[in-house]
């Protein structure tokens, strides 16, 4: 389980509600059906209008990424590929047949099966690359929809507040009731902004982050498998994959630095 998602949700929502209570707010005042219907009904409705069902299904399949932490380590995978290479050089590619059935990593299993079957290098590379690209598309759909929801929910909140104010302005005769009515109208805005910034946008960011790491690992796996098929020296494979890993990590950091600089300039 990815405990950071759980802790983050508890801290985020708990912090907002705790601050609201500290400022003299009453949690019971937030439990109004109208704002919930406008924000959640309108938000989900807008999402269904914006995206086809096929994209929604892809997004739903990414939700488990938010709460499940895949147990893989780049260094361990590189060492495992080097060990498989040594085994293949010593006993032949057919000796990897058992590993092609029992390896814990799905991409390694598929790649080893292709290697053992004697499939051409370019074909193996194309099949594994397309497999990775298809998974990336699923992740991208999830990110895209969550980010869209992060933009829609605040708008629905504002819409709910405006609707509440219209209702209030129809009758200003009771001045004592204006304060509670106006504060109630802003519940929709709080729900919309809070949900977008505490749930939907962070969900999209986490999926994007995990997807980027998984893609990086998959690229290393593909290169390692092709090196095994080519019969390269296990030590050379290990060194090459370690260098590629450092380059990818360095590239990711450089991109983050460039993005930060561009943001500062803007």
pLDDT of 265 above 50:
no
Whether 19 maps to a domain, the answer reads no
Structural domain of 58: 3-9+32-255
User: CA 164, CA 260: separation in Å to the nearest integer?
Assistant: 40
In the predicted structure, residue 176 carries a pLDDT above the cut 90: no
CA pair distance 46, 262, nearest whole angstrom: 32
Residue 66 CB coordination number (10 Å): 22
**CB-based burial label for 118 (10 Å; 0-12, 13-18, 19+):** exposed
Whether the predicted pLDDT of 93 surpasses 60: yes
Contact 55, 145 (CB under 8 A): yes
In the prediction, which pLDDT does 25 show?
Answer: 76
Q: Is residue 94 part of a domain?
A: yes
Cα–Cα distances (Å) from 157 to 114, 137, 184, 201, in that order, read 53, 30, 12, 16
- Report how far residue 70's alpha carbon sits from residue 135's, in angstroms, rounded to the nearest whole number: 15
**pLDDT value at residue 29:** 76
The dihedrals phi and psi of 73, each to the nearest 5 degrees, come to -135, 130
Angle between helices 106-116 and 201-229 (to 10 degrees): 20
Burial of 164 (0-12, 13-18, 19+ CB in 10 A): buried
Report CA dihedral (58, 158, 199, 57) to the nearest 10 degrees: -10
Q: Is the pLDDT of residue 258 over 80?
A: no
Higher-pLDDT residue of 245, 263: 245
Q: Among 85-94, 230-239, 245-254, whose mean pLDDT is lowest?
A: 245-254
What's the structural domain count of the chain? 1
- In the predicted model, what is the mean pLDDT of residues 221-237? 91
Residue 56 in domain: yes
Q: How far apart are CA 250 and CA 148, in angstroms?
A: 30
Rounded CA gap, 241 and 224, in Å? 7
CA distances from 233 to 9, 104, 120, 143 (A): 47, 24, 20, 40
Question: 168 lies in a domain?
Answer: yes
């Amino acid at each position: 389980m990815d405990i950071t998602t759980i802790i983050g949700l508890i801290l985020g929502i708990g912090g907002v509600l705790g601050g609201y209570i500290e400022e003299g707010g009453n949690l019971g005042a937030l439990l109004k059906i109208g704002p919930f219907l406008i924000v959640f009904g309108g938000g989900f409705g807008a999402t269904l209008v914006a995206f086809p069902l096929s994209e929604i299904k892809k997004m739903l399949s990414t939700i488990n990424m938010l709460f499940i932490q895949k147990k893989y380590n780049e260094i361990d995978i590189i060492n495992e590929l080097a060990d498989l290479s040594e085994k293949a050089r010593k006993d032949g590619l057919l000796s990897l047949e058992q590993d092609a059935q029992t390896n814990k990593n799905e991409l390694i299993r598929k790649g080893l099966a292709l290697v053992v079957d004697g499939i051409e290098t370019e074909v193996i590379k194309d099949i594994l690359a397309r497999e990775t690209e298809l998974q990336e598309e699923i992740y991208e759909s999830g990110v895209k929809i969550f980010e869209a929801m992060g933009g829609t929910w605040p708008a629905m909140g504002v819409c709910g507040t405006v609707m509440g104010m219209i209702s209030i302005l129809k009758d200003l005769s009771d001045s004592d009731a204006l304060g509670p009515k106006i504060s109630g109208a802003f519940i929709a805005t709080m729900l919309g902004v809070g949900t977008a910034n505490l749930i939907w946008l962070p969900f999209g960011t986490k999926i994007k982050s995990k997807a980027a790491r998984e893609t990086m690992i998959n690229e290393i796996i593909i290169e390692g498998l092709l090196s095994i098929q080519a019969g390269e020296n296990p030590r050379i494979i290990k060194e090459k994959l370690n260098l590629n890993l450092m380059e990818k990590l360095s590239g990711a950091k450089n991109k983050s630095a460039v993005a930060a600089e561009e943001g500062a300039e803007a």
